[in-house]
A and B are shown apart, each in its own frame.
Chain A
Amino acid sequence: MGKVVINSARCKGCGLCIEVCPKNVLVPSSKNNHLGIYVVEVKNKEECIGCSRCAIICPDAAIEVYR
């Protein structure tokens, strides 16, 4: 059981986190942030195992992981 928190103000929507997530927790969002960037959002939050892979690959340190 884990939880990811995405700081949408820092997210640039590169999608690397989506690619590395083993549980398909993350998806591209249709919402944009204050910079007009379509950010990543948490969809299947109950699936999250708190493995931190998304946070490790995030180039913008936009993800916090809880377990």
Chain B
Amino acid sequence: MKKVFGRTRTLRDTHTHYCPGCGHGIAHRLVAEVIDELGIRERTIGVAPIGCAVLAYYYWDLDICEAPHGRPPAVATGMKSVNPKNIVFTYQGDGDLAAIGFNETIHTANRGENITVIFINNAVYGMTGGQMAPTTLCGQVTATTPSGRNVKRYGHPIHVAELLANLPGVSFSSRVALSDIPNIMKTKQAIKKAFQVQMDGKGFSIVEILSPCPTYWRKTPVESLKFIKEKMVKTFPLGVFKECGKK
């Protein structure tokens, strides 16, 4: 028999600190597979965020750098400016990208920086104990919204992929979900597309990934995937919001 599925070169064979059923592990593996399939590991540099994925540099066998909370796009901008031939990507959560770092996100996208952003939207702050994120659903209970997210107080969840698609510097903006096998396959295709956009020098690319957080959704891993399919995608529709060449 032949091995048809296993870890690829870029994914280190190590235990991760993620909770059982956490989507980060799937997303990490997909990113690693894409990098290996495109054959770009030897020129790729990653930027890890602050949040649950802060230890991503232990899981990918890549050149990778830490960034202060919310600043990965700025760090990536600096990196790309040194050697534009490097493939530079950031991996960020919703608090990192859409709250504390939204300024960096929008301006990096607007400049059309030729980098790729992998954006994990799990609608909570995981690392700090399940607080409300900018993407927390209306009515969703979190550590800081014990009666559910109140729209009058906090407004509606931020739609990052749609917002960024409006900027001319953005060449690819897509939202996908880790909710089942077909959607995981689509997620991989979107990640691949985003990296290809960068390889073609077309500018900023972002993949927003709806990802399960069983621990702070207070659900089992299986229930969490159901929650994405039944609830989350109603707030965050899946699809490609922008795909074009940079002018």
Q: CB within 8 Å of B: which of A3-32?
A: 3, 9-10, 12-16, 19-20
Residues of A within 8 A of B6 (CB): 55, 61, 64-65
Task: Report the Cα distance A54→B150, complex, angstroms.
Answer: 38
Distance (Å) between the CB of A27 and the closest chain B CB? 14
Does B193 interact with chain A (Cβ within 8 Å)? no
Is A61's CB under 8 angstroms from B25's CB? yes
Q: CB within 8 Å of B: which of A42-62?
A: 50, 52-53, 55-61
**Known contacts A59-B18, A59-B21, A61-B25: does B225 contact A16 (CB below 8 Å)?**
yes
Does B82 interact with chain A (Cβ within 8 Å)? no
Is A56's CB under 8 angstroms from B1's CB? no
Residues of B within 8 A of A55 (CB): 5-6
Is A59's CB under 8 angstroms from B4's CB? no
Q: CB within 8 Å of A: which of B202-217?
A: 214
Residues of B within 8 A of A56 (CB): 5, 181, 184-185
Residues of B within 8 A of A66 (CB): 1-4
Name the residue of chain A whose CB is nearest to the CB of B18: A59
Does B29 interact with chain A (Cβ within 8 Å)? yes
Can you spell out 27 A-B residue pairs with CB atoms less than 8 angstroms apart?
A2-B4, A10-B15, A12-B19, A12-B20, A12-B21, A13-B20, A14-B21, A14-B214, A15-B220, A50-B1, A52-B5, A53-B181, A55-B6, A56-B5, A57-B26, A57-B181, A58-B26, A59-B18, A59-B25, A59-B26, A60-B16, A61-B6, A65-B5, A66-B1, A66-B2, A66-B4, A67-B1
Q: What residues of chain B have their CB less than 8 Å away from a CB belonging to chain A?
A: 1-7, 11, 13, 15-16, 18-26, 29, 180-181, 184-185, 214, 220-222, 225
Task: Give the 7 A-B CB pairs with smallest separation, nearest first.
Answer: A59-B25, A14-B21, A65-B5, A14-B20, A12-B20, A66-B1, A14-B221
